[in-house]
Structures are given as C-alpha cells and as structure tokens.
Amino acid sequence: MNSLNINSIVRFLVLILAQVLVFSNINFIGSINPYPYILFILLFPINNNRTLFIFLSFMLGLFVDIFSNSGGVHAAACVTVAFIRPPVLKFAFGMVYEHQTIKFNNTEFGNRIIYFSILIFIHHFIMFLLEIFNISNILLVLQKTLFSSIFTVILCAVISILFSNKQR
Amino acid sequence: MQQIINFVIRNKTFLLFLLLFVISLGLTIQSHSYHKSKFINSANFLTGGIYEGASGISDYFDLDDQNKILVEENNRLRSQVFNSGDSTVVGRSSIDSVSYNGRYTIQSAKIINNNYSSSKNYLTLNKGEKDAIKEDLGVITSKGIVGIIDNTSNGYARVLSILNTKSRINAQLKASNHIGSLEWDGKSHVNTVQLTDVSKFAPVKIGDTIITGGESTIFPKGIPIGIIESFVLDISGDTYTIQVTLFNDMTNLSHVYIIENLDSEEIKLLENPIDE
C-alpha cells in the first residue's frame, strides 16, 4: 500500500512537470497541445478514498493552472472528470468493475481506449469552454477539443503501454 | 439536525466536488478581469524558478537565431548612428531614449516562458520587483511590441501578451494620425492581430505600417507593430477593422526590453481629476 502511495506522488509530480515544460510547448500545427497530465486521474487506483481522489485531482489541475496562467480551468475540468469517473468505468469495463477486481494493466486495450477517450473528451471540452468563455465561439471550442483530444488519447495510450509492461 | 448531518456524510463526495468546482470557477472568472488574477499566476517563486531552470537549457538550442536577431538590431542601430542626419532610415527604431529627452528608461530582460497557443496568452520574464519592474510597463523587442506587464513578484514578472483577448493597446497608422485599438480575437493565426475602431476617413492601404500611438502612457509613440494585411468596413459602416501582420515572430522570442515612462504618474495625476 505504501509503495502505491509513493508511486502516486511520483506520478503526480512527474506528470505536472512534463506537462508544463514539454507538452504545453508542443504547439503542433500552430496551437494543438496534448494534456497527458490527466493520466494521473485516469490511472488512479480505484479502491482508494474518493474524497481524497477528488481533492488530489483539484490540486493537480490547480498546479497546471498556476504554471499556465489559466485561472482555474484545468482545476474545474479535473474535478469534474474525477467526479464522473465511476460511471464511465462501469460503462467501459462492465462486470470487471462491478466486482472491484480491476487493474488497469490487465484490462483489454480496446476497453482502456474507450475509457480514456470519454474522460479525455469531457475534460478537454470543459477546459476549452471555460478558457474561451464565450458561447458564440462554441465551434472553436469543439474544434480545439476534438484535435487536442485525439492528440491526448494517442499520447496517453502510448505512455500507458510503455510503462505498463515494466510495472507488471 | 441528525438528518442534515446524515445528508452531508452521505453526499460528502458530491458536496466536495461542488465546492472545488465552484472554487475553480471563481478563479476562472477572476482571471478574466484585468489585474485581478493575483493568486494564480506564473510569476511566483516556484513556477518562476522552474521555468528559469528549464529555459536555461532550452536557450542553447536557440542561440543561433537570437544571435542573428541581435546582429540585425546592431546593424540597424549602427546605420542610424552613421546616418544620424538622415531621419528617413527605414524601420527607424523609436526607442532611443535621447530623442525623448530622457522620459523613458529601458531595461533588458529575458523571456523564460512563452505561450501562444491558448486564447489568453501570458509570458514570464526573469526580472521582477527587485529590478524595479512594476505593473503597466511596456515590453517590446527590437522588432515590435510584445505586451504589457500585469503582475510582478520579487524576481519575476508576468506579461499580458498582445496575443490575449484581454489586451487593448493604442495604435495608429504610420501614414496618418488615425488611431485605433489593437486587439486579438483569439482565433486568428498567432502572428495576426486586429486593429479596430479606425475611422472610415483614414487612408487605409494594404502594406502600410501600424505603429503605437502616443495616447497611452505605456508605450512611446512610433514603436513598429506590423503591416496591414487586409481590412473591412464594419457593419455599421463607420469604422474599419484591420488585420495586422506582426513584425515580431511571437513564437520565437527571447530577449526583450522593458520600457518605463517616467512621466506616466504625472500624466495619470493630471488626467484623473477630469474623469471624476
């Protein structure tokens, strides 16, 4: 249990630093950036305390906000994603989740991608909606959400494949 | 009472979520109003330090370009000195403090974090209050303007980039004295900004130069901004909205100059009683 906590803390710090120093500066075709720091929320152990989980997600978003001068948009998106994670887990993994025996390393690749995609899309939509903060620019919001989500999903899948083998 | 406590305990996850969501919404809304995002900004000890360390590494990959820019600027300044009798030097840099009777002081600084991909972009500089940097000082490069300082800490300062939908800068045509306000709509390409509210009587031509206007107390008059790419008459038919291509490449900035107008307090003092 203790090693799990250390693992989470390291993941928390490494993902924030990687996000603000590397991934926020990619600017693919002008302005498309991935936000793979959300992997912390996606891969957080399931049986743990939910209150703590939501609070940690808030801190994660807030740190990214402080670094990128964006007020509270990442924090809002992260808190929402953390809150709606259980229903999405149930939808993506079905019975496995019901029996509380789930481990992300052992899940099927397809299920994992569906699970990632749903949460990432919701996260990015809330984030860009709050960042642009103008309902008449909804098309711009959707466009940014779509492109960034695709980028993030690919990166998250790659990262989770790269690191899952080592942990097993 | 028992029921209320039970309710709180049963829904503690949801209530926590609601609380944190409202806090982050509050921070977001606060960050949309100018000069109020005091708490969440990258000009603090921790973030500034991390960004400075990272930029110390990444700067090495950019040395070639930055050297070229500095040499170009030296070149231009040198030709200005040699031809000082000639006032029509192309691309005349107007930040020479001598020609402003010492009203402006200039400091150099380095950008340690540059953002241009969102609709509200900020930059972080490696100088702060200990170098006498204050809010509302102008930031320029040798080629054109960058933005206005909107937040400072002891060692770092945050710049509201002209690529921010909150930014409003007084600008004018070089050919005539028609003024407008320089904005960014958040959707255009990173090196294109909009000049709005230009009178329909102004002689607008594609390819003309836009410079800063003398009406603000932040920038001196005559700092180059960009050239006119296209223009349309507003729906009302009274004003032009002009697309301006910046001289600066906002994606590749390193060394900047911070301009302080020594008269700005006097001007503000003089203007404020009229407003009341």
Give yes or no for residue A168 having a pLDDT over 60. no
Contact A54 B115 (CB under 8 A): no
Rounded to an integer, the average pLDDT of B137-150 is: 90
Is the model more confident about B186 or about B130? Answer: B130
Say what the pLDDT of residue A167 is.
Answer: 45
A94 φ/ψ sector (left φ>0, alpha ψ -120 to 50, else beta): left
AA letter at B137? L
Residue A76 burial (CB count, 10 A)? 28
Say what the pLDDT of residue B89 is.
Answer: 47
- Please state, in angstroms and rounded to a whole number, the distance separating the CA atoms of residues A23 and A152: 10
Whether A161 and chain B come into contact, CB under 8 Å, resolves to no
Say what the pLDDT of residue B94 is.
Answer: 54
Contact A131 B120 (CB under 8 A): yes
pLDDT tens for each residue of B18-34: 999 999 988 888 887 75
SS3 A116: helix
Contact A58 B158 (CB under 8 A): no
pLDDT tens for each residue of B217-239: 888 888 889 999 998 888 888 88
Say what the pLDDT of residue B227 is.
Answer: 92
Residue-wise DSSP of B119-165? SEEEEEES--GGGT--TT-EEE-SSSEEEEEEEE-SS-EEEEEEEET
Contact B28 A76 (CB under 8 A): yes
pLDDT above 70 as % of chain B = 89
pLDDT tens for each residue of B156-175: 999 999 998 888 899 988 88
Say what the pLDDT of residue A98 is.
Answer: 62
Tell me the pLDDT of chain A averaged across its residues.
85
Say what the pLDDT of residue B258 is.
Answer: 92
Give yes or no for residue B69 having a pLDDT over 80. yes
Chain A hits for B16, Cβ within 8 Å: 51, 54-55
Rounded to an integer, the average pLDDT of B38-57 is: 80
- Please state, in angstroms and rounded to a whole number, the distance separating the CA atoms of residues A88 and B21: 19
Q: Residue A79 — very low, low, confident or very high, per pLDDT cuts 50/70/90? A: very high
User: Poorest-confidence range of B101-105, B108-112, B255-259?
Assistant: B101-105
pTM score, whole prediction? 0.82
Say what the pLDDT of residue A166 is.
Answer: 47
Instruction: Give the helix, strand, coil percentages of chain A, each rounded to 5.
Output: 80, 0, 20
Contacts with B, A 113-132, CB within 8 Å: 130-132
Q: Residue B87 — very low, low, confident or very high, per pLDDT cuts 50/70/90? A: low
Contact B21 A80 (CB under 8 A): yes
> Is-contact B226 B188, C-beta < 8 A?
no
User: Poorest-confidence range of A35-44, A88-97, A139-148, B254-263?
Assistant: A88-97
> Is-contact A78 A58, C-beta < 8 A?
yes
Give yes or no for residue A4 having a pLDDT over 70. no
Report the chain A residue with the minimal C-alpha distance to residue B112: A21
Residue A21 CA neighbour count, 13 Å, CB half: 18
Say what the pLDDT of residue A101 is.
Answer: 60
pLDDT tens for each residue of A12-51: 999 999 998 888 888 888 778 899 999 999 888 877 678 8
Say what the pLDDT of residue A93 is.
Answer: 81
Report the chain B residue with the minimal C-alpha distance to residue A61: B24
Residue A87 burial (CB count, 10 A)? 11
Chain A hits for B54, Cβ within 8 Å: 21
Contacts with A, B 195-254, CB within 8 Å: 251
Q: Residue A3 — very low, low, confident or very high, per pLDDT cuts 50/70/90? A: low
Q: Residue A62 — very low, low, confident or very high, per pLDDT cuts 50/70/90? A: very high
Tell which of B9, B11, B14, B28 to mutate to test the A interface (max A CBs under 10 Å).
Answer: B28
Report the chain B residue with the minimal C-alpha distance to residue A138: B187
AA letter at B104? Y
Is the model more confident about B44 or about A124? Answer: A124
Chain A hits for B17, Cβ within 8 Å: 54, 79-80, 82-83
Whether A71 and chain B come into contact, CB under 8 Å, resolves to yes
Q: Residue A145 — very low, low, confident or very high, per pLDDT cuts 50/70/90? A: very high
